[in-house]
A and B are shown apart, each in its own frame.
Chain A
Amino acid sequence: MSANTTAIVTISNRLGLHARPAMMLAETAMRFDADISVRRLDQDAGVDAKSIMQLMMLAAVCGTELEFTASGTDADAAMSELTALVKGNFSEDAVDDH
């Protein structure tokens, strides 16, 4: 067992974590063996990053801070890909583009 890896990122695309970004996260997360959860910093419970439905239940608008936690042999790789998606605004408009 490897240790947990954690990272906090802020949703910065204008439309927030809607269906397409949620799907990008879930599809990316599913490529890894690691268990990955996502939690809003203002909530206690996290959701499974591999479930689009659960990700949609975060209602993460632009500006929401999310904590990703991954555990497993490929946790570090998973974490860097997932946080890159958020930081890259899921290839959508950032808020200040609008």
Chain B
Amino acid sequence: MKLLDIVVKDAIDPQLAATSRDEAITMLVDRLIEAKAVDPGHRDEFISAIIKRERRGSTGFGHGVAVPHVKHPEIEKLVAAVGVSHDGIDFNSLDGNPVHSIFLIISPEQKPEEHLEAMEAVFSNLSQDTFRSFLLQATTVDHVTSLLEEADSSTLGN
């Protein structure tokens, strides 16, 4: 699975203004709604489920990266929003460091394998120092999109 198969271009925020975890989650869900990628009728449900999931265990897995997510029965196609915070956000991450790169994922509950493939696509890139630092240098949606394109065609290397 490629990053651009899952990331909704209109839901990329290279200068995420959020200052808290819950605000970041809310803003990225709203981005997906504005991009018409998910049903606005489920907005509050998505937000509260994602926050609840974070409370059970942070998806801030270290290296300044977080992947808040929810699986929902009404979702047919997995979608992801991307937020980049230059100041960093406290995500209660495992290594205690602030989070700069957020991939928020909403996936169909009945297709757990799609969720795992999306996570694989996200982490095979986010685990690379190069990808993370390029993402932090991106200041426009176009910059982020071309970075994702390069990552998908594996021209970034390790």
A contact residues vs B (CB 8 Å cutoff): 14-20, 23, 52-54, 56-62
Check B119–A14 contact: CB distance below 8 A. no
The winner among B59, B115, B116, B126 for most chain A CB atoms within 10 A is: B116
Query: With A52-B61, A52-B94, A53-B61 as given contacts, are A19 and B112 in contact (CB-CB < 8 Å)?
Result: no
Partner of A14 from the list B59, B67, B112, B127 (CB cut-off 8 Å) is B112
Name the residue of chain B whose CB is nearest to the CB of A60. Answer: B116
Partner of A56 from the list B57, B63, B123 (CB cut-off 8 Å) is B123
A-B contact pairs, 30 of them (CB 8 A): A14-B112, A16-B112, A16-B113, A16-B116, A17-B116, A18-B112, A18-B115, A18-B116, A18-B119, A19-B57, A19-B67, A19-B119, A20-B56, A20-B57, A52-B61, A52-B62, A53-B62, A53-B65, A53-B126, A56-B119, A56-B120, A56-B123, A57-B120, A57-B127, A59-B113, A59-B116, A59-B117, A59-B119, A61-B116, A62-B112
Q: What is the number of contacts between chain A and chain B, taking CB atoms within 8 Å?
A: 52
Bound form: Cα–Cα A48–B20 in Å: 31
Which residues does chain A contribute within 8 Å of B56, judged by CB atoms? 20
In order of increasing CB-CB distance, the 3 nearest A-B pairs are A59-B120, A61-B113, A15-B112
Partner of B63 from the list A18, A19, A53, A57 (CB cut-off 8 Å) is A53
